[in-house]
Structure 1
Amino acid sequence: MSQSAHKFSLTTRIFIGMIAGIVIGVLLQLLFDDSGDFTFSVFGFQFSAYSIFVDGIFSTLGQIFIASLKMLVVPLVFVSLICGTSTLSDPSKLGRLGAKSVGLYVVTTAIAITLAMSMALLISPGEGLNLTTETSFEAKTAPSLGDVIVNMFPSNPINSMAQGNMLQIIVFAVLFGISMAMTGEAGKRVSAFFEDINTVIMRLVTIIMNLAPYGVFVLMAKLFSTIGGDTIFSLAKYFFLVFGVLIIHGLVTYSILLKLLSGLSPVVLLKKMRDAALFAFSTSSSSATLPVTMETARNKLGINNSVASFTLPLGATINMDGTAIMQGVATVFIAQVYGVDLSLGDYMMVVLTATLASIGTAGVPGVGLIMLAMVLQQVNLPVEGIALIIGVDRLLDMTRTAVNITGDCMVSCVVAKSEGGLDEDIYYNEHAGEKEEDVNFSEFDKNA
């Protein structure tokens, strides 16, 4: 590659792509509105310039980029987790990893929704609003703890992989890895095979990351060419309250927990999370961002694979702090809009339901609204109230996904430090992992 290709770091290139996409999207919306769109005819067919860019080029390339990320998730989680668990010489360590990880994820989610409701009650974003709803949502029942536990165990692991059921994949991979560790020489041969596959998959992750600036560009251009500014302004108080609580939780709560529980510097963690956070912001999916999150944890934060391969896929599945914040503020907001007084017991029910509902819920865009329907139903609030906030939820979904994956890495750092699985030399090395960001594509020309 030429020197110009290395002029900017990956983080800078992603940020440039994001800003350029936002600018292009806004310009497209301003230039090609319903009254001023440029149309032309080819062989009798009418074409719209706006549709060609937004619904054609940007939409197609954006979907390809998201699909490329999702393509990596199941093989990456499955292979990494097998490699990690097969090296555990002490089976009790796996139990400690699980208990610490789940415990911390549940605690951070409970803190998130409690903080959100406290801020919402203090600021009262829904008072004085007289909004009407036109859209209805069908609420689903929050799963019981028994159902959550039973559904973790796959009856058909191949089907679980096909459906992307992360909890079932995690359980099967852990059992498979433990079996390999207990099988002797045969297990070692299989382990070497999976280690080679893991190396190839991580190289594929690096290749996809180098294409990220272009993927981020088209995703941002598509989003900002379709979202209306009037929608955001009409619910500005709610929007900025949720956004503010997300920032507080992501920067303050995680920093305090990391420092108290591990003694590590929170500033280092937040700096090294930039690439993964930008990915999460662009994709609005913890699962799609998982390959980047795992690369960051291993190569930049120094987290051992035996820890990262377990805590991060688990976090992408059950850690929904950002979504819990949205649910807390939205519940109070909708209650105030409809003039419903919630009791202390109702608020406690919201905390419990939101925390439980986050376990086993897929980390995909928009899932927060489905979870919110469960929460509203538990405290007898009108589920159609979701229509009030759906217009601004897309932007908030992007932000809370970035918060979610930051929380995943914070918990992973704490667990790794407590288990002796964190390389602090890598953690405090500001240049750690940078070599993994660049792929010399000229290597392909030599082999051609």
Structure 2
Amino acid sequence: MDNPKNILRNYAGILLLLTGITIGSIAGFFLGDKVTVLKPLGDIFLNLLFTAVIPLVFFAVSSAISGLDRSTKIGKLMTVMFSVFLLTVLISAIITIVGTWLFPINQHSSIVKQAIENHEVKTVGEELTQLLTVGEFSDLLSRKSMLALIIFSVLVGFASLHSGESGESFRKFLTSGTEVMKKLVVIIMKLAPIGLGAYFAYQVGVLGPQLFGTYARALGLYYGLGLFYFIVFFSLYAFVAGGYSAVKRYWKNNIIPSLTSVGTCSSIASIPANLDASVKMGIPSYIANVTMPLGGTLHKDGSSISSVIKIAVVFAIFGKDLAHVDTVLLALGITVLVSVVEGGIPNGGYIGELLMISAYHLPPEALPPAMIIGTLVDPMATLLNVTGDTAAGMLITRIMEGKNWLSKTVTS
């Protein structure tokens, strides 16, 4: 058993992070709007993290694919990964729909309908084009183009993989770049106690009062279901993947990704924490380096739950019922699409909210309530989105590596 000094050394980073967040939360609670002066500290930290994450994702994805053995079935990995992503998203959505039946949201909401600005209407083809590609190489460097960047990284990885000896130097460059960018993120994360502390102070001080009032019932339902899913189903996924040992390994290494996700409200900013946690959980690097970046953009259990809650809230306001078969199936379809198109940035559900309103032929006044709910549930949604990626990574590893995958890894 480790002595107290070793334990303190192992958890020093976590304790510093918790201390910063706690101090920030207390400051926000007592100072209220005055804590806005601390927001630049949080913004500086997030900006540094975002700028480092973009090249990290490129190098991690490209090097993972370029380093595959030709005998490795990359097609199988992609098929398994997307199947697991889809399954967990649907499970979370179904649980939420059942939750809205058991604990219906008040049908006599007093939310005041608000007017909204006119927005440019784009065709499905235009939306897909902007989602999957960019017109200029420089646009790939924006975090708003994460899916396009990942697709480009995958293509670069395949090109490098099939370049033979002439591409050997480039493959080494990708591998070296991955390690350098990981180290850069480690350096930036030294600022996390200050940066996240400042951000928590701002969130508690400015957004705290909005947690009460008309939306209390919907928020209570979301956070209750989210906590239930977080504890019970992530434990279940880990157990299915590797038994009790996997459950222990999962929760032991899930602390820092959880705190990072709640503090930043960003799936993308949490990718480095997930990559590090994946290694400690025993997930092979060839799976983690592809699954974690892709999961940050495409796999969103938390957004799945919030999508259904938003539908339930808007239905309550406009007197509709989320019970008919066709309505439920459409809700599940919207949820899957939202999980794919929603970006990994704070409050990134705007596209999904417009999709919901369009699919159900709701009036424009339905948008503000959905946006407000999306903002208030963002911390828990991001927590589920991020930590769900490592749980999915364990399931993917179980399928790819067999039932004894955990015994093949070094105990962390």
Matches within 5 A, 1:17-416: 17-29=20-32, 50=34, 54-56=35-37, 58-90=38-70, 93-136=73-116, 148=128, 152=132, 156-162=136-142, 164-229=144-209, 231-263=211-243, 265-298=246-279, 300-342=280-322, 343-388=324-369, 390-391=371-372, 393-416=374-397
Whether the aligned pair in 2 keeps the contact of 1:142 and 1:356 (CA below 8 Å) is no
Shift of 1:237: 1.3
Which of 391, 406, 412 is residue 424 of structure 1 equivalent to?
A: 406
Whether the aligned pair in 2 keeps the contact of 1:277 and 1:405 (CA below 8 Å) is yes
RMSD: 3.0
Structure 2 distance, partners of 1:179, 1:313, is 19
Shift of 1:409: 0.9
Structure 1 distance, partners of 2:117, 2:99, is 26
Shift of 1:318: 1.0
Which of 16, 20, 30 is residue 19 of structure 2 equivalent to?
A: 16
Q: Deviations over 1:337-361 (max 9, x none)?
A: 2212343211211110221232133
Shift of 1:272: 1.0
Whether the aligned pair in 2 keeps the contact of 1:157 and 1:169 (CA below 8 Å) is no
Structure 2 distance, partners of 1:260, 1:138, is 48
* Secondary structure class of the residue paired with 1:227: helix
Alignment-mate amino acid for residue 276 of structure 2 = E
Shift of 1:302: 2.6
* Structure 2 residue ranges without an equivalent (≥5): none
Structure 2 distance, partners of 1:142, 1:411, is 33
Whether the aligned pair in 1 keeps the contact of 2:84 and 2:396 (CA below 8 Å) is no
Closer, same or farther: CA 128–286 of 1 in aligned 2, 3 Å: same
Deviates more, 1:121-130 or 1:156-165: 156-165
Shift of 1:82: 1.7
Shift of 1:125: 1.5
Closer, same or farther: CA 91–147 of 1 in aligned 2, 3 Å: farther
Alignment-mate amino acid for residue 278 of structure 2 = A
In our comparison, the structure showing a higher alpha carbon Rg is 1
Alignment-mate amino acid for residue 83 of structure 2 = G
Shift of 1:316: 0.8
Task: Tell me the TM-score normalised to structure 1 length.
Answer: 0.81
* Secondary structure class of the residue paired with 2:73: helix
* Secondary structure class of the residue paired with 2:283: coil
Shift of 1:228: 4.2
Shift of 1:152: 3.3
Shift of 1:391: 4.7
Shift of 1:134: 2.3
Deviates more, 1:300-309 or 1:258-267: 258-267
Structure 2 distance, partners of 1:371, 1:22, is 30
* Secondary structure class of the residue paired with 1:211: helix
* Secondary structure class of the residue paired with 1:287: coil
Closer, same or farther: CA 182–245 of 1 in aligned 2, 3 Å: same
Closer, same or farther: CA 397–206 of 1 in aligned 2, 3 Å: same
Task: Tell me the TM-score normalised to structure 2 length.
Answer: 0.88
Shift of 1:149: 8.6
Alignment-mate amino acid for residue 19 of structure 1 = T
Q: Deviations over 1:188-232 (max 9, x none)?
A: 222222222222111111112222111110001111111243642
* Secondary structure class of the residue paired with 2:401: coil
Structure 1 distance, partners of 2:217, 2:249, is 32
* Structure 1 residue ranges without an equivalent (≥5): 33-49, 433-448
Deviates more, 1:130-139 or 1:408-417: 130-139
Q: Which has the higher helix share?
A: 2
Alignment-mate amino acid for residue 396 of structure 1 = V
Shift of 1:428: 7.5
Closer, same or farther: CA 262–375 of 1 in aligned 2, 3 Å: farther
Closer, same or farther: CA 246–369 of 1 in aligned 2, 3 Å: farther
Q: Deviations over 1:142-175 (max 9, x none)?
A: 9869974995356654432346422222222222
* Secondary structure class of the residue paired with 2:108: coil
Alignment-mate amino acid for residue 110 of structure 2 = N
Closer, same or farther: CA 345–392 of 1 in aligned 2, 3 Å: closer
Alignment-mate amino acid for residue 90 of structure 1 = R
Alignment-mate amino acid for residue 23 of structure 1 = I
Alignment-mate amino acid for residue 246 of structure 2 = S
Alignment-mate amino acid for residue 251 of structure 1 = I
Alignment-mate amino acid for residue 24 of structure 1 = A
